[in-house]
């Protein structure tokens, strides 16, 4: 009966669902009591945990003194801000400034370009119709020969 309870606790332990009290029961069972034959493989694990808990470091640890750090992170943020500001400023000032006369000329150019594109499209439709006329001429010549 006891080993069945311990087996269930072990299963829950390896799934990570045991409470601290249940882990204490497992620890006591594997370190103090006689362990069932089929569970002896787990006793090494819990005995090792017990020994690791008892280990203490007797050596004095000396930490190196830290030097005051130069605020380099602050300088990096200032440099990044300057780079962004210079980039935006150069983009803004590199945009062309057109006078009203130049703006009117550009608008007229766009209108004439659109008119030429419309004329080109209509001429292409007419050229397609001419290919049909060429076919008519060839057929007519074959009939009247």
Q: Which two tokens mark 87? A: 């980039």
- Whether residue 121 lies inside any domain: the answer is yes
Which residue segment(s) compose the domain that 131 sits in? Answer: 98-145
Q: Is the pTM of this model over 0.85?
A: no
Q: Could you tell me the pLDDT band of residue 1, with boundaries at 50, 70 and 90? A: low
Residue 45 maps to a domain? yes
Confidence label for 53 from pLDDT (cuts 50, 70 and 90): confident
25: in domain:
yes
92 assigned to some structural domain: no
Q: How many helices (H) and strands (E) does the chain have?
A: 5, 0
> For residue 64, is it within any domain?
no
For the chain, what is the largest distance between any 2 Cα atoms, rounded to a whole number of angstroms?
Answer: 122
Tally of structural domains, the chain: 2
Give residue 71's pLDDT band: very low, low, confident or very high (50, 70, 90): low
Asked if the structure places residue 11 within a domain, the reply is yes
Residue 141 within a domain: yes
Cβ atoms of 50 and 67 within 8 Å: the answer is no
- Residue 41 falls within a domain, yes or no? yes
Say what percent of the chain tops pLDDT 70: 94
Distances (CA, A) of 69 to 63, 133, 137: 17, 88, 93
pLDDT at residue 113, rounded to an integer: 94
Average pLDDT over residues 21-32: 87
């Amino acid at each position: 009966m006891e080993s069945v309870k311990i087996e269930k606790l072990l299963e829950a332990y390896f799934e990570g669902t045991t409470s601290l009290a249940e882990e204490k029961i497992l620890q006591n069972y594997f370190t103090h009591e006689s362990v069932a034959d089929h569970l002896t493989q787990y006793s090494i694990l819990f005995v090792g945990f017990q020994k690791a808990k008892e280990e203490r470091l007797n050596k004095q640890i000396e930490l190196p003194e830290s030097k005051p750090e130069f605020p380099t992170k602050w300088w990096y943020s200032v440099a990044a801000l300057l780079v962004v500001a210079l980039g935006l400023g150069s983009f803004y000032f590199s945009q062309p400034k057109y006078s009203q006369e130049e703006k009117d000329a550009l608008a007229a150019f766009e209108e004439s370009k659109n008119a030429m594109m419309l004329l080109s499209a209509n001429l292409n439709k007419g050229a397609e119709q001419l290919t049909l006329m060429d076919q008519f001429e060839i057929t007519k010549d074959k009939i009247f020969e």
